[in-house]
Chains A and B, each alone.
Chain A
Amino acid sequence: MKNRKTLLAGLCGVSLLLAACGTSGSDSKAGSAPGAQGFTPPKLNALTQLGQPEGQLNVLAWPGYAENGSNDAKVNWVTPFEQQTGCKVNVKPFGTSDEAVTLMKTGQYDVVSASGDASLRLVASGDVEPVNTALVPNYNDIYPFLKNKSWNSVNNVAYGIPHGWGANVLAYRTDKVQPEPKSWSPMFDEKSQFKGKVIAYDSPIYIADAALYLMAHQPDLGIKNPYALDDKQFKAATDLLKKQRPLVEEYWSDYLKETQSLKSGDGVIGTAWQVTVNLAKSEGAPIAATVPSEGATGWSDTWMVSAKSQHKTCAYKWMDYITSPKVNAQVAEYFGEAPANSKACAEFKDKSLCDTYHANDAAYAAKIQYWTTPIPQCLDGRTDVKCKDYGDWTRAWTEIKG
């Protein structure tokens, strides 16, 4: 117990979570031990019962997640929700996880579709509150391997409803890369035969891909979680990426740009999303994708409720609606990812897509290390070292690109 108190004091000393320290001090049961994530969220209570719909709902969503027909008249699942519940929906799309975190601080949005690299920050800063899953009937049909994960729960308290997920796969030109790559080595090995033809993801979070590679190839570094890197591990990962740079044809952050690179053959191998592969294939390019033996990074998104929401009944109705089999299938099919609802696959227009996205494949899902925000408290539970935070990751990313 004493150790735990010292630890907690140490955490407060890091001064990241002043609010959290303030509340957790009095709550000895839940607050004395930081969660597996290494921090203690502010104490907020989930809704206990639904009331009358408030007539309004402000949704903060990834583009494609809350379509109301304004982008494409054929794609609209917001209007049926409005008709069913009487909750008028305002949709605000965001472009990056950081934008979502910033916008949620305004308190103007009721629900958000947060990826793992945003959700922890939202939980820790008290911008989102725990979710009472009993009030979301469709939660029962969500794949078990997506529930109570480190990015959507703290101390086994759920902070949202899983929405969909996908892996950052290894995509390659079948005509130029033979035999099928079984490892990420062609992208990282200095002597790779694809020098100048490699495509890498352009974001600080890509450092985790290098760490994942090192987990398998340099076990003596002791990396347990690619998002929890101490000084030595971090240096090894960034050094690996600096060595990778001469191999890289270009870094991508726009998936259409990568599709074009693979199609034209300027790049022949690279880290990609399933939607990129599908798109390139549909345009006739000889592209295939695989999750190599080392595993892969990926994303898993969660619908979360703002702690400041004035429309919580509508928010819960939305979370239930958007994860219902039919709507979940529509969104997943439109966006190109695996749905979270186990009954969604039956609703896909193109039934083969569920296999493409490995929707029902828990083993495949387990191979994925989902995007998580790196924080000073090591996410793998180590307390004897300090890990590199996302600010460090960003600076290092600038350095890697040179």
Chain B
Amino acid sequence: MNQPESAKAVTASQTTIEFRGGKALSALPILFFIAWAIFQSGLLGISATGGLIVGMLVGLILGMLFVKGDWKEYANTVFEGMAQPVAVTAIVAWLWAGMFAGTLQVGAFVDGLGWLAVAAGIGPLLFPAITFLLAALLATGIGTGYGTVIAFVALFFPAGVALGADPVIMFGAILSGAVFGDNLAPVSDTTIVSAVTQDSDVGGVVASRFKYAIIAAILSLIAYVIASAMFSGSTIAPEVAEAFRAQTNPAGLLHLLSMGVVIFTAIAGRHIIEAISWGLIVAIVVNLVFGLAPGTDMLVFNVAEGGWAAATFGGWPLVEVVAAADAGVGGSLYDGALGFAELAVLILLVIAGAQIMMRGGAFHALEDWLLGTVAKTVRSAEMVMVTVTASINAAITINTAAQIAVAPYIATIGKRFNINGYRRANILDANTSALGYIFPWAGGVLVGYTQMTALVEQYDWFSTDMVVAPIQAWPWVFHGWLLVIVFLVSAWTGFGREYTTDRLSNRSTTS
């Protein structure tokens, strides 16, 4: 996102908390959370975000029991972590993207996409590949992978599933598109953080990382066609598919204008909040002017019948009188934003756990070990940079936060071999972008799952067995895996490697 300030957030700073049992114990809250997530989501098959919140809370409490001396510093570090811009930036993206995607959803954009797919003869074989392509383009345009996941799960996912595409492959394709955009978009916060922390300019890192991204993307595109041909796991009943085809509506495509406004304003350099707000305003106007959705589909005050409020305000715009049990606020603005409330709490806690790991010195210990024993040659150094970046991100789950944590070490290891800023930034960004959308506890996967569960209430035909559990997605995020593989191969073979003697990145300066 357009948030270069996030690069100034607290980095892996000095050790300030001592743990009984050594520095490694500072990783306990995060490791406990991951173990909890695997147990809850993977083994028990419970995907509830609320359960993960408890897992992270218990992890933070357990970690505290191992702190030497005063526990106040530990408690303060929890606050310090939660106050970081990276977490808030992600939450803001979810709230805005949630409102926007929900408003396009009630405005029949899904029916418009369905109409286009049917008219163009795009069936379940090609739908996931095309979804990947369009998600990649949107994410590259607006610079937020999370926002792209929300929009595409709300809009393309139901259209694809209704047309017979496999739900798991569809989800993987959407996550892959988000990885592509987070990695390559000039306005993505991960792109900016990777450039700033490795003494490089944004234009230079985008141009130099294109080769890795495009190789992985072409292979992913082919893989989605092959996977769709091999695994047709759609549970859609023929009559449901027929009903969806019957309700397809070209008028829904008017919302291409709403999406265009977001992409255009984001590319023009406006802040993502501003860009999505403009798109939201256009979407509301389009819905009302063209009769795609009444105002109450977007915002409604449901007032309990029989009371003073019902007698006074009944009949007003945006007010509906309902049974007392159904009273409340509703509509796409409400549902779209509120759907992410639990996830917002979880992410704040995860970032707090990551901050504990940094303050407790687990990162420093890892760096010393890697520099001293593993990174002996430029090839092994680059292999270490790829694998460490990927594994740190697998633990921290929010890619920008992981980047900020690991960036100083990538700079240190890379400079020891005179690997230039562009190459370092590319290794850093690609592998954090990729892993943020693969594992079941990753922010990108959870945000998609959260949006998907809302589809059950949105569409009569969308049943719970079409919801893809977070644990199911990881094998199908082709672009994420392929990007990591491309970088491992590049590190091994020297493909794309640049030394400072070949070219200095633009922000490097001689002392």
* Bound pair (A, B): no
